[in-house]
Structure 1
Amino acid sequence: MSLLQNMSWFLDVRTVLVCMVVLLALRWFLGRPKNLPPGPWGFPLIGSVPAIVREIRRGVEPHDIFMRYAAKYGPMFRLKVFNKTVVVLNDFASVKEAFQHPQLQDRPKVLFTELFDTEGVAAASGEKWIELRRFCLTVLRSFGVGKTSFEEKIGTEAEELMKEMSAFNGKPFDPKPLLGNAVSNVICSVIFGKRYEYTDGEFKKLLSMLGENVKLLGSGGALVFFPALRHVPFMSTDKLVANIKAILTFLINNIDNHRAAFDTDNLNDFIDVYLMEMKNNQTKLRKGNESKHGHITEHSFAGTVANLFAAGSETTATTLQWALLYMTVYPDIQQRVQAEIDAVVGRNRLPRMADKPELNFTRAVIWEVQRLSLVVPLGVAHAAASDTQFHGSMIPKGALLVPNLWAVAHDPKVWSDPDQFQPERFLNDKGEAVQAEELIPFSVGRRSCIGEHLAKMELLVFFSFFLHQFTFKKPDDSPTLSLKGRGGLTHSPKEFKICAIKRD
């Protein structure tokens, strides 16, 4: 081939490439829906990914990045992540209104669903989600979850945990694995009908993988809602996928064991009830009748069990971890909580849910810990079921709606000195605990956390038990404890050790 032919071939290829780039850019700019919310400029095809990744690599958390954008573009702004429009909501009013809107209740396709052939209640949309959520809530309530009668189960687990703490005899220990095991046991008693000993190696490994995945899912849990990110070179996901497979295998084995021992006259837990409902569905179908729970299928089984297990384990345990850290850092607050519990409960018995109305400062401390630590800073994203007009802007079908719950919890227009630990902000002039409407650690609307009632009861029972029985202190030889968290799917404390000193 002559030099002239080579040059001609090169020019032809270059022309084609330039035309492709121009066409893609035109499609990017001209194909965008009109009247979108304001937001930062983004590159064609990849949108705002480079700018966000650059900030994250500098150590800035996504919720802080979004707060900066909100200061410039307003409480509701839009950005592009690859081919997906993302609308970020940064104040209470917009989060509340959007998450109550009937057309903004769907879920985007998530990593778990894309990798494995199961879609649980947390990832479902439309009629399937409505049916699965209603079923889950009904079954959980039937086993006492959220009711005062369930208090005994939580209290029993709290007492087991305190035995483990006592065994350290005031020496330093990391509370994270113990809290994880205890909180998980509460939901396991409902889902699997059993609890796991703190020495159970398999269960400890399972919880370790669950905690590791929280970190591996990236700041703000980006990989959950943008599965395509796993193909980006610097996002190594082999370990994440392996962990998810191992956790799923554990859950499926549990389901299979229930299947083998299934007794229609003896339904002991959630899995048994789910199996029974599927059996009833099959019977109705054989008779030509329509089932009331047509979405209670094998396809949703493992995913729903996984959703309940994960939601009932990680977030509450992390909140309790923060609570112990704050009590250690603020010993004067710890003493006030202990004084209140002693005055209300006395020293001859453990606290009960019946004491709740009088434990005003104790509840205020729990709420302030939840506000400041905000364990799930970016909540759980919704998706638009159709093109929707909202606050004067168009939210296109399929767009993600991300609630920046961190911004809501640190909004200076709502909270005076929002970065300060001030439990008194939740007390009225009479010293009564009053929860602010803007405190939404479990999100809001019909898709708010399915385990909210359970989590609230766990937080009060565990926390009041701990402060009734122990005083928590920093080990003498440890550095100053940090209240700066680390990112991931959840906002968790950096690893720390404390001493649990038994009270008289």
Structure 2
Amino acid sequence: MPVLQNMMWYLDVRTVLLCVVVVLVLRWFWGRPKNLPPGPWGFPLIGSVPAIVREIRRGVEPHDLFMRYAAKYGPVFRLKVFNKTVVVLNDYNSVKEAFQHPQLNDRPKVLLAELFKSEGVAMASGEKWVELRRFCLTVLRSFGVGKTSFEEKIGTEAEELMKEMSAYNGKPFDPKPLLINAISNVICSVIFGKRYEYTDGDFKNLLSMLGENVKLFGSGGVMLFFPALRHLPFMSTDKLESNVKAIVTFLINVIDNHRAGFDPENLDDFIDVYLMEIRNNQANDKAGAKHGHLTEHTFTGTIANLFAAGSETTATTLQWALLYMAVYPDIQQRVQAEIDAVVGRNRLPRMADKPELNFTRAVIWEVQRMTTIAPLGVPHAAASDTQFHDFLIPKGAFLVPNLWAVAHDPKVWSDPDQFQPERFLNDKGEAVQADELIPFSVGRRSCIGEHLAKMELLIFFSFFLHQFTFKKPDNSPPLALKGRGGFTYSPREFNICAAKRD
């Protein structure tokens, strides 16, 4: 009798589990909203995760996989990642239209906000995001960011970097640590009110952790936007979490030092202005506060967002630019010839020279197009059920812009896999930037540091080519233009030689 009871109990449990599975499967197939974009089949509960993970482990980048799907299902297609609907946008028109739609401008909840325990400007949504973005842009402009007057600060840092390059006397070196330090110093001068020497151990460690995290987020930054993936056995986040904790500690120390020496009559940098706003909010009731969302909760996250956005992507673009110049010496010579003709050899380039540096600008744009530093951009989320391209985008769905697909669309770019800066020159030899070149994304959530990055790229790149010729080290393997996936698409480590020009 006990044996029979045990068997009955076992059968009951198995029956219940089977019923649960059947209900979930039925809900998966019949509980979905109608008229969703087309897309590949996915498993109940886990969706397309196995297929995506399998391809990533084979070395296929997500942006390439999504281009494959787009060829089959169209430029707007849908995936299911666990319980999330993901709509991938694969051409310029769909990205532009979606990211200009007021109901498609939210940000999904991401791993960084959870780890930082702070919601910064890049990750906020709704009224909070509008206020934080407006405040950040206003303060950055007040310190000259994006204005011609700011070029002296950028130029000073570029000259410091060239001193470091000159110290190698033409011998091979890894440019990435120098580039990230220099570019970071530009934004640090605005946010922190100081720059850091290249020998500063704490700052070097901070930048190293920042770069490591970019890789740890996985190809295309998948783990950043799909935090549940971190529970998969081969995607441990222990190192990621320890790095974030150390970065937060560094930023909090900087903020606390500002707090200790705060002088409301002398607001020298972004942190000072933010502290002033927090004080003003505390002096008023929240309903009457001018910037009610500028709180301690959004402080560290916003500082981290601005610091990261103003460091990694521009440094990586310059790293790619140097690599391409070494691989294409004839194009490097044409850039140098143009700079010499416009600027001469007795001074360094200036922003005033920009209109005449047509080929130089075309080369920068082509590097940005070829390498597309953030291949999948930063996803948006639907604030409500939204009709888009005759499809329904359900509330909470992620919208992922495949910027790589946009930059390599053969319908827009002839020979898209070929490095051809001339594609950005008109018949008169004038530089004309195509609308479809969107390395900073588009719409109201486009990169907050776009104007600063454009100025940095022109000044640093023109300074470099004015002063040096970049070459592959002798007796070394050929330089590879194949990148390495992460949240950003960066070159594999390489050494380069900077030969001083006469």
Query: TM-score with structure 1 length normalisation?
Result: 0.99
Counterpart check, 1:75 vs 2:75 = yes
Task: Please state if 1:192 is matched with 2:192.
Answer: yes
- SS across alignment from 1:472: strand
Q: How does 1:161-180 map to 2 (within 5 A)?
A: 161-180=161-180
Question: Residue by residue, what CA displacement relative to the aligned partner does 1:468-490 show, whole Å, maximum 9, x if unpaired?
Answer: 00000000121000000000000
> Alpha-carbon deviation of 1:281?
1.7
* Aligned residue identity for 1:450: I
Give the partner amino acid of 1:103: Q
Q: What code does the residue aligned with 1:421 have?
A: F
Within-5 A mapping of 1:290-369: 290-369=288-367
Partner of 1:104: 104
What is the aligned-residue RMSD (CA, Å)?
0.9
Instruction: Give the CA deviation at 1:206.
Output: 0.5
How does 1:151-300 map onto structure 2 within 5 Å? Answer: 151-285=151-285, 290-300=288-298
Other-structure match for 1:132: 132
Q: Name the aligned partner's letter for residue 64 of structure 1.
A: D
Amino acid at match of 1:39: G
Quote how far apart the aligned CAs of 1:282 are: 1.8
Displacement of 1:6 in angstroms is 3.5
Partner of 2:461: 463
Q: How far off its partner does 1:304 sit?
A: 0.2
Measured against aligned partners, the alpha-carbon deviations of 1:5-45 in whole angstroms (never above 9, x if no partner) come to 33323222221111111011111112211110000110000
| C-alpha contact 1:114 1:227 (8 A) present in aligned 2 | no
The answer as to whether partners of 1:351 and 1:465 remain within 8 angstroms in 2 is: yes
* Distance in 2 separating the partners of 1:64 and 1:189: 38
Partner of 2:487: 489
One-letter amino acid of the structure 2 residue matched with residue 476 of structure 1: D
- Cα distance in 2 for residues equivalent to 1:210 and 1:366: 25
Amino acid in structure 2 at the alignment position of 1:104: L
Contact 1:219 1:489 in 2 (8 A): yes
Residue 103 of structure 1 contacts residue 384 of structure 1 at CA under 8 Å; is this kept in 2? Answer: yes
Tell me which moved more, 226-235 or 197-206.
Answer: 226-235
Instruction: Give the aligned residue type for 1:409.
Output: A
2:440 is the counterpart of 1:442: yes
Conserved? CA contact 1:70–1:90, under 8 Å: yes
Give SS of 1:402's match.
Answer: strand
Residue 380 of structure 2 corresponds to 382
Letter of the 1:4 partner, please give it. Answer: L
Structure 2 unaligned spans of 5+: none
Distance of 2:444 and 2:498 partners within structure 1: 40
TM-score for both structures, normalised by structure 2:
0.99
| CA distance in 1 between partners of 2:224 and 2:395 (Å) | 19
Q: Distance in 2 between matches of 1:302 and 1:116?
A: 8
Task: State the distance in 2 between where 1:115 and 1:500 align.
Answer: 40
Q: Distance in 2 between matches of 1:128 and 1:289?
A: 14
Counterpart of 1:398 in structure 2: which amino acid? Answer: G
* CA displacement 1:188-225 (0-9 Å, x = unmatched): 00000000000001100110000000000001101111
Q: In the TM superposition, what is the alpha-carbon distance from 1:150 to its structure 2 partner?
A: 0.3
Deviations 1:248-299, CA, capped at 9 Å, x for gaps: 11011100000000001111000000011111222232xx871221111111
CA distance in 1, matches of 2:118, 2:205: 23
Partner of 1:121: 121
- Answer whether contact 2:115 2:244 (CA < 8 A) is retained: no
Deviation at residue 229 of structure 1 after TM alignment: 1.3
Which residue pairs with 1:412 in the alignment?
A: 410
The equivalent of 1:421 in structure 2 is 419
Conservation of the 8 A alpha-carbon contact between 1:223 and 1:229:
yes
Does the CA-based 8 Å contact 1:191-1:271 persist in structure 2?
yes
Name the SS for the 1:103 alignment partner.
helix
Partners of 1:146 and 1:457 within 8 A in 2? yes
Specify every segment of 5 or more residues in structure 1 that has no aligned partner in the other structure, as ranges: none
In the TM superposition, what is the alpha-carbon distance from 1:175 to its structure 2 partner? 0.1
- Please name the residue that 1:6 is paired with: 6
- Letter of the structure 2 residue corresponding to residue 423 of structure 1: P
Q: Which residue of 2 aligns with 1:64?
A: 64
In 1, the alpha carbon distance for the partners of 2:476 and 2:209 equals: 27
Which letter maps to 1:444?
A: V
Structure 1: distance between partners of 2:287 and 2:370: 52
Q: Does 1:44 pair with 2:66? A: no
Q: What residue identity is the alignment partner of 2:402?
A: N
Instruction: Work out the CA distance in 2 between the residues paired with 1:11 and 1:284.
Output: 65
What SS does the aligned partner of 1:319 have?
helix
Say whether the 8 Å CA contact 1:87–1:400 is kept in structure 2.
Answer: yes
Matched positions, count: 502
In structure 1, the residue corresponding to 2:103 is in which secondary structure?
coil
Question: 1:352 touches 1:461 (CA, 8 Å); kept in 2?
Answer: yes
Identify the residue that residue 391 of structure 1 maps to in structure 2: 389
For residues 166-191 of structure 1, the C-alpha deviation after alignment (integer angstroms, 9 at most, x for no partner) is 00000000000000000000000000
